[in-house]
Chain A
Amino acid sequence: MNSKTAKLISPERVSELLDCYGADPEAWPDDERATALALIQNSTQLKNLQTEARQLDRYLTAGDIMQRAGKPVDMKLVSRITANLPAQDKPGQNLMRNNRAALKRSLFDFSSWTGMIAASIAVFAISVSIMELQSTSGARQQSDVSQAELDYWMWQQVTGEVESDDEEPLTMMVLFEPD
């Protein structure tokens, strides 16, 4: 680690490093190691934290059950793996397969379906609202037209511009009856 790549860190960060990675500087991130070691050297509190972390490291190391399980490489297994290798993918083939799998997963994923259902309900509700608005507006327009026709008919009756229509509805006639 040279000083050019060393990162400036605070004592709190050193405490975090001990908390996450333990007491062994080899386990710390490369770019923080040198500064962390310098800070520990100048701080009793950090030294104590490192001692505490070392106790846990020992506990973990002593408890590694694989110390007994570890053995030299099993060459029979190596041969088994390398004996019948399948054909390699073409470049990009695996990525495409992953993308297809992701798409398939998303189609069968409950959460995405929930989202789609919610979106469908929202779209349906908006459509119904728009249709409702249109029908109300249409009715109003129709009602406006009827009013216009009525006004025109009244105008015709008053001015006598148009020959009377015997088949006018009675209701229209009633409108002109004196009180």
Chain B
Amino acid sequence: MLAVAQGDQAAFTEIVTRHLTPVVNFAWRYVGRRSDAEDVAQEAFIRLWRHAPDWEDQGFSVRSWIYRIAYNLCIDELRKRKPVTPVEDEVSLASAEQPDEDLYRDQRQQQVAAALNELPERQRTALVLCVYQGLSNRDAATVLDVSIEALESLLSRARRMLRNKMTEEAQS
């Protein structure tokens, strides 16, 4: 990243290649359409490039910084409009061309996606960052701009709600 801060485009391409897919997937969960998620990711990486000379002053890891930019862009995007297509619908449409053998898995994924969507936005983001995107607690806290204690509180509440949901589903 120090090389990127000095204008090294090859180093920047390497960072984009390494982080692009997870960042697109992360944004996709929010904005609902893959094309919009790609636009968010593109803008996030361009901002990372532009502001790279200030990277050291920010004190973030590259990963948490790019997620933080992408997260803020997603929130801005959602404020501008209501999500048109829930992400699970679009992913299902995308995979419909290749018949899925495991119908049960599909149903389970739909259920969990619906349960996640019911969570308050910050709790959902904390969970997505730590569970699905594999960020450390420090990086996830940086993305959400909260302390680690606050992040743990968000995670704990999110998991409690999901546990209740899981129990309800098992009983029904």
Contact = CB atoms under 8 A, between A and B. Distances in A.
Given A56-B162, A68-B95, A62 B109 contact: yes
B19 to A, nearest CB: 9
Contacts of B84: none
Nearest to B116: A63
B75 interface: no
Interface stretch (A73-81, A109-117, A135-143): A73-81
A176 interface: no
Contacts of A72: 21
Given A22-B131, A62-B112, A64-B112, 20 more contacts: A19-B155, A19-B159, A19-B160, A20-B152, A20-B159, A27-B130, A63-B113, A64-B109, A69-B91, A71-B21, A72-B21, A74-B21, A74-B24, A77-B41, A77-B42, A81-B16, A88-B5, A88-B53, A89-B50, A94-B50
B49 A63 contact: no
Contacts of B113: 63, 65
Contact of B131 (A60, A65, A70, A95): A60
A82 B12 contact: yes
Contact of A89 (B28, B29, B53, B116): B53
Nearest to B18: A73
Contact of B54 (A22, A71, A95): A95
Nearest to B86: A65
A170 interface: no
Interface in B108-164: 108-109, 111-113, 115-116, 127, 130-132, 136-137, 148, 152, 155-156, 159-160, 162-163
Interface string B27-51: 0110000100010011001100111
B111 to A, nearest CB: 7
B106 to A, nearest CB: 9
B10 to A, nearest CB: 9
Contacts of B21: 70-74
11 contacts: A62-B105, A63-B108, A68-B100, A69-B94, A71-B21, A78-B17, A81-B20, A81-B41, A82-B12, A86-B49, A94-B51
A9 to B, nearest CB: 13
Interface string A38-72: 00000000000000100111011111111111111
B166 interface: yes
A154 B5 CA distance: 92
B43 to A, nearest CB: 9
A147 B105 CA distance: 100
A173 B46 CA distance: 95
Nearest to A84: B46
